[in-house]
Amino acid sequence: MKISYHGHSVVQIQTNGKNILIDPFITGNGLTDLKTEEIKVDVILLTHGHNDHVGDTVALAKRNHALVVANHELATYLSWQGVNTHGMHIGGACQFEFGKVKLTQAFHGSSYTTENNELIYCGMPAGILFMSEGKTIYHAGDTGLFSDMKLIGERHPIDVAFLPIGDNFTMGPEDAAYAAKLLQAKTVVPIHYNTFPPIQQDPYQFIEMLEDKNGKVLEPGEVLEL
């Protein structure tokens, strides 16, 4: 399995011959190394409905005939845009040919802003547990710190955890470091920082906060192999 980070909250997983993207915010993401016209994707996993996470989902899914997995309300909304979707909800899991997906709770908002400045309700935000090849990846999505992260780590031993550190909209570095302690992941990777002025952070300083010193900063395009 190969895992790579592409700025903001964009994570790519290559497993079982499939290319999977989580929260593909490409257009407007000044930190990404990806170009939408070059992306080949089989599956898109979404944590919630905010524009900086849904991103280029519709265009990518249509061009690549990709499956989009999201919470029920967001999946329904995207299906109205002509996208092939699979709706789920928090606590539910589904075994796909490419791996198993389970949605966890996250404390945040979830709405999509249209070009006409309408807010579309997109259900509850979520984190994502992705399991394949005997490995478990946790993408926390946008969330504040919550104590049940300990339960998530106990129920699903995590190989790599992607945690937001930007503060203002999500956990800041201090809370994210405590989240890492609760989760007990083998490797912790910071995400959701430096894309916009309100979420400027030093990811290397965050790594130093981790009790187990088990963090790794991934530059856009950098790959982890499991």
The predicted pLDDT at position 212 comes to 87
How far does Cα 77 stand from its chain's mean position?
19
The predicted pLDDT at position 128 comes to 98
Residues 6+ apart with CB under 8 A from 185: 138, 153, 158, 159, 160, 161, 214
The predicted pLDDT at position 30 comes to 96
Q: Where are the domains of the chain?
A: 2-216
How far does Cα 224 stand from its chain's mean position?
16
CA–CA gap between residue 24 and residue 3 (Å, rounded): 14
Domain 2-216: CATH superfamily is Ribonuclease Z/Hydroxyacylglutathione hydrolase-like (3.60.15.10)
- What stretch of H or E contains 58? helix 57-64
User: Over the chain (226 residues), what is each successive 10-residue block's mean pLDDT?
Assistant: 98 97 97 97 98 98 98 98 98 98 98 95 98 98 98 98 98 98 98 98 97 95 96
Residue with tokens 């699979």: 86
With beta carbons less than 8 A apart as the criterion, state whether 182 and 210 touch.
no
Residue with tokens 């280029």: 56
